[in-house]
Amino acid sequence: MILPLGDAPNPRGTPFATYVLILINVAVYLLFTLPLGYQPPDPNDPALAEYVQVIRDTLPPGAPLEQALRELSAYDLFVFRYGFRPVRPSVLALFAAMFLHAGLLHVALNAYFFWLFGRMVESTYGRTWMVLIYVVAGFLASVASYAFGPVTTLAVGASGAISGVFGAFIAYNYRRRQHAMNAANLRLALTVIVLNAVIAIGYSSIDWRAHVGGLVAGFALGYLADSSGPARQRAVVRFAGVATLVVIGIALVLWRTAEIRSAFPQFFG
């Protein structure tokens, strides 16, 4: 992502949830991505045979299977097992994918973007809503990639979840767009969106569906978290809104799974 260089005003307090989520992403990179990326795959790994089958069935006509296998690393199999794959969906993969990254630049940019906007969102909505936005938006980002992307997509990265946090930032400022600072924040957000859209057009490896899904989900969650009215009414509206988003995500997963089962029965037994 193309990122701004700072934020103003600086959020008050210590954003513990933001720091913990960043540390989890960095820890997964240091413990798994970095060491496994330099190791060849274990020939006895059961995932290797399944990987070969999937690659053989999904490679474009004429593409050499041998070359793809020569470039394979142990981390590729790790991502194959725990990243989100349309041809073998699982609840674990839907959530695990938001903590896996493709490399150092990927995790570094995501961590910086999250540090920048996560602190402001946590300061605005509170710790609980910060975690909820990250997890639910990350889930719906994976769902968007699954439901509307090609079956060969292998989704990894916190980008969808972090886009959700960014969406909540936009929702907060949109509600207060009549104030100069909030209007400036919206212009900043629009600039970031346009620049990243241009980059996504130029790089086909970027899963823009996950970014858009997370952004829209985060905006909706931020709007719900910032709702007004009596306390009991706010609680009901928030619960119903979050539940509706999750149900929509589950419905999309069920629909897409049925569609893929009919097209690729060999992957489902």
Per-residue pLDDT of the chain (269 residues; tens, 9 = 90+): 444 544 545 566 789 999 999 999 999 889 888 888 888 887 787 778 777 776 666 666 666 666 666 767 888 777 777 766 655 667 777 777 788 887 788 889 899 999 999 999 999 999 999 999 999 999 999 889 888 887 766 666 688 999 999 999 999 999 999 999 999 999 999 999 998 888 888 777 788 898 999 999 999 999 999 988 888 899 999 999 999 999 999 999 889 888 887 876 665 55
Q: Delimit the domains of the chain by residue range.
A: 16-267
* Residues 130 and 17 sit within 8 Å (Cβ to Cβ): yes
Helix boundaries (H) for 71-179: 74-82, 91-96, 104-125, 127-148, 159-175
CA contacts within 13 A on the Cβ side of 227: 19
- pLDDT of 5 reads 47
Distance CA 79, CA 124 (A): 34
- pLDDT of 77 reads 79
- pLDDT of 117 reads 93
* Residues 112 and 171 sit within 8 Å (Cβ to Cβ): no
- pLDDT of 1 reads 45
CATH number attached to the domain at 16-267 = 1.20.1540.10
String of b and e for 191-207 (b: at least 16 CB within 10 Å)?
ebbeebeeebeeeeebb
Would you give the end-to-end CA distance of the chain in angstroms?
39
What sign results for the dihedral spanned by CA atoms 68, 73, 79, 81? positive
- pLDDT of 2 reads 45
For residue 42, give both structure tokens: 């274990």
pTM (two decimals): 0.83
